[in-house]
A and B are shown apart, each in its own frame.
Chain A
Amino acid sequence: MKRIYLIILFCISINCVNAQRNIFNLNYSVAFPLSDANDFISKTSWRGANLSMLHYLEPGIAVGVETGWNAFYDNVGYTTITDGTQALSGTQYRYGSCVPVLFNLNYYLMPDEVINPFVSLGVGTMYSRSDIDMGMYRARFETWHFALKPELGLQYETGATSGINFSAKYFHAFKTNELKETRNYLSLNLGFYWKY
Chain B
Amino acid sequence: MSISLFILISCTFFSGCYPEGPTYYEEFDVVYTNYKKDYSFKDKKLFTMPDKIVRITGNIGQGQPPVFISEPYNTQIINRIKSNMIAKGYTFTADTTIADFEILTAAIEVENYQVGYWYDYYYPWYYPGYGGGWYYPYPVVSSYTTGSIGINMVERKNTSPNNQNAVVWLSIINGLVEGSNIDFSNRIDKCIDQAYTQSPILNQ
Contacts and interface: CB of A to CB of B under 8 A. Distances in A.
Interface of A: 26, 28, 46-47, 49, 71, 73, 75, 80, 82, 84-91, 93, 95, 133-137, 162, 191-192
Contacts, number: 73
Contact of B21 (A84, A87, A93): A93
B9 A87 contact: no
Contact of A86 (B9, B10, B33): B33
Given A89-B198, A90-B30, A162 B2 contact: yes
Given A136-B174, A191-B6, A91 B27 contact: yes
A84 B37 CA distance: 9
A99 to B, nearest CB: 16
Contacts of B22: 91, 93, 133
A47 B198 contact: no
A75 B27 CA distance: 11
B36 to A, nearest CB: 8
A93 B30 CA distance: 13
Nearest to A27: B6
Nearest to B112: A136
A86 B30 contact: no
Given A28-B9, A85-B35, A135 B17 contact: no
Nearest to B24: A91
A85 B34 contact: yes
A133 B30 contact: no
Nearest to A72: B19
A91 B176 CA distance: 13
B31 interface: yes
B14 A47 contact: yes
A71 B198 CA distance: 33
A26 B6 contact: yes
B13 interface: yes
Interface in B87-140: none
Interface string B31-62: 11111110000000000000000000000000
Contacts of B33: 86-87
B19 A90 contact: no
A65 to B, nearest CB: 21
B28 interface: yes
Nearest to A46: B17
B30 A49 contact: no
A88 B198 CA distance: 8
Contact of A135 (B20, B175, B199): B175
A97 B73 CA distance: 42
Contacts of A162: 2
A88 B31 contact: yes
A133 B21 contact: yes
A134 B22 CA distance: 9
